[in-house]
Amino acid sequence: MGELVEIPLRLLAPSPYARPTNHDAVKALVGSIGEHGLLQPIVVVRAPVMDRGVSVEGFRIVAGHHRVAAFRQLDRHEIPATVLTCPHNSYDAEIAELDENLCRHELSPAERAAAIRRRADLWEAKRGLAETGGTNCPSSQNARLADGRRKGAQHQQQFAAETAAATGKDKREVNRELARARAVAEAGADPADLRGTSLDKAVELDALAKKPVEERRALIQQAKAGEQVTARAAPAAPPPLRKPRSKTAPIVLDLLTRLEGIQQLLPLEDLGRSILLQLDTTDAELHARLQAVVPTLHVLGALADAYDPAGELMPDPMPLARGGRPT
């Protein structure tokens, strides 16, 4: 992967893809490093940095920003680091940095889309598939994957295959993230702008990609302004209940048969008195069970009024359970 060296902290520059510092995580690292030492070296690439106002040969952090912050709090001056073995003045150095970040699980969907988009820009420029204006590094304007200047599905599949192999991800996952990045870029935004917003979710970015460009642009602007927006469609109202086309359910027929049997044994006017004589009215459990079935009796009574020979909409059963009547 690269050589392991001790690097002065003053020669380190942060990655442009670094996440905001989690101060609780840094505090925990300070305790761990102070007690056990650094268990995992940071990862860097060679890059020019500013040291005391002068541009010098240094290193850009690929992974380990929180470890560096912990070392600074511990007043350490050097940190163990693995230097990726690729030339710093080439596309390969930044691609290696992006691949290292894409291998990490803590990136948000918007951060992953931004990294995939940048990797695709570099990949195209490296192969001469995008105009670079004679520069060594493509700009976001002239090498943007999402600007519609794709050179065919074959190139995209090759990019997806190479990215998947380098990052350990599935090709389909790479293509999904690529599609999310395109959709945001087509709306004139950078996926990184959506980091931490209400649209920084996989389902939101997927839904956003299906919107017209103008609608995408409006949602992105609202999200960047801190509004809680969603690209997903509002849940559809549940369809009205309809009577089953099949025969009446056996449980209903069985219940009716039992009730009809009780009616045959006793006249309706004697039913209540006869049952009351056989009940222990001090039995709390029995009282609770009777109360529990009262709504069912209300429903049965109300459904008797819901005869509908045309087989149209059924009444809402909830008002019936509360003793109402269908309208």
The most confident of the ranges 4-18, 208-222, 247-261 is 208-222
Closest CA to 169 of 177, 321, 148, 223: 177
Reading phi first (left if > 0) and then psi (alpha if -120 to 50, else beta), residue 139 is in beta
What does the pLDDT look like over 89-135, one tens digit per residue?
467 777 877 887 788 667 899 999 999 999 998 888 887 744 444 44
Q: What is the largest CA-CA distance in the chain?
A: 105
Q: What mean pLDDT do residues 143-158 have?
A: 62
Give the pLDDT confidence score for residue 20 in this predicted structure: 77
d(CA 17, CA 100): 11
| Bridge partners (DSSP) listed for residue 7 | 79
Quote the pLDDT of residue 144.
Answer: 47
CA separation for the pair 47, 86 (Å, rounded)? 11
**pLDDT of the residue at 18:** 72
- What are the residue ranges of helices labelled H in 127-152? none
Mean pLDDT of 210-219: 94
Residue range 258-275: mean pLDDT, rounded: 72
pLDDT tens digits along 155-178: 888 899 999 998 888 899 999 999
* Main-chain phi, psi angles of 174, to 5 degrees: -60, -45
Residue indicated by tokens 């990949």: 123
Q: Give dist(CA 130, CA 265) in Å, integer.
A: 90
Judged against a pLDDT cut of 90, whether residue 306 lies above it is answered with no
Q: Is the pLDDT of residue 226 over 60?
A: yes
Provide the pLDDT confidence category of residue 152 given band limits of 50, 70 and 90: low
| Predicted local distance difference test score (pLDDT) of residue 262 | 75
Q: How far apart are CA 252 and CA 243, in angstroms?
A: 14
User: Any residues with CB less than 8 A from the CB of 193 and at least 6 apart, and which?
Assistant: 110, 184, 220, 224
**Residue the block writes with tokens 């460009």:** 213
- Please give the residue that has the higher pLDDT: either 117 or 137: 117
Q: 17-25: long-range contacts at Cβ-Cβ below 8 A with a sequence spacing of 24 or more?
A: 17/97, 17/98, 17/101, 17/111, 17/114, 17/115, 17/192, 18/61, 18/65, 19/65, 19/106, 19/107, 19/111, 20/196, 21/65, 21/66, 21/69, 22/66, 25/66
Provide the terminal-to-terminal Cα distance of the chain, rounded to the nearest Å: 74
Question: What would the pLDDT profile of 11-53 be if each residue is shown by its tens digit?
Answer: 999 987 677 788 998 999 999 999 999 988 998 888 888 888 8
- Residue 162 zone, left/alpha/beta (φ > 0; ψ -120 to 50; rest): alpha
What backbone torsions phi and psi does residue 6 show, to the nearest 5 degrees?
-95, 125
What is the per-residue pLDDT for 211?
94
DSSP tag of 226: T
Mean pLDDT of the chain: 80
Pairwise CA distance, residues 321 & 295, whole Å: 5
Residue 130: predicted pLDDT = 44
Q: Say what the pLDDT of residue 236 is.
A: 76
Spacing of C-alpha 116 from chain mean position: 17
Query: Mind listing the domains of the chain with CATH numbers?
Result: 2-85 (3.90.1530.10), 93-224 (no CATH), 250-321 (no CATH)
Residue 251 above 50 pLDDT? yes
Q: Which helix (H) or strand (E) holds 175?
A: helix 171-186
What is the predicted pLDDT for the residue at 309? 61
